[in-house]
Amino acid sequence: MDDRSGCADDRGSSPVEFVLVGTLLTALTLAVLQLAFAVYVRNVVHDAAVEGAYHAALADTTPEEGIERTRDVISRAVGADYAEDIRIGVSGAPPYETVDVRVRTTFPLLGLIGLPLAMEVEAHAPAETFGEE
């Protein structure tokens, strides 16, 4: 007869531990990947806003062309759904005007699915003029 009590028996605990630890590590890995993806989307949208602001700030372009440039860059990198709310404006007084581009977009929570218009980035560029000398 065996003296061991039923509580001290470790048989069969390895698969349970593997499932518990494996689930935790998988969830942690997926969370880190999702965070990295959210940072990537933010960086893409910010770089697109910078590109659009500098394009719109050129002396021979219009603000609409800056918006279109921003929309194109975002659409190529992460999809057109992320390029819906793009605004452009001018601030400052001549000769120190700046072109400002603001993009509000989805913050990805689960893959590309996320909170609409929860992330906002802004970029500024000095406005170019055909200077009279």
Q: Is the pTM of this model over 0.85?
A: no
- Separation of alpha carbons 92 and 37, rounded Å: 35
- Separation of alpha carbons 103 and 118, rounded Å: 10
pLDDT digits 0-9 by tens, 1-29: 555 555 667 787 888 888 999 999 999 99
- Separation of alpha carbons 114 and 105, rounded Å: 10
- Separation of alpha carbons 69 and 66, rounded Å: 5
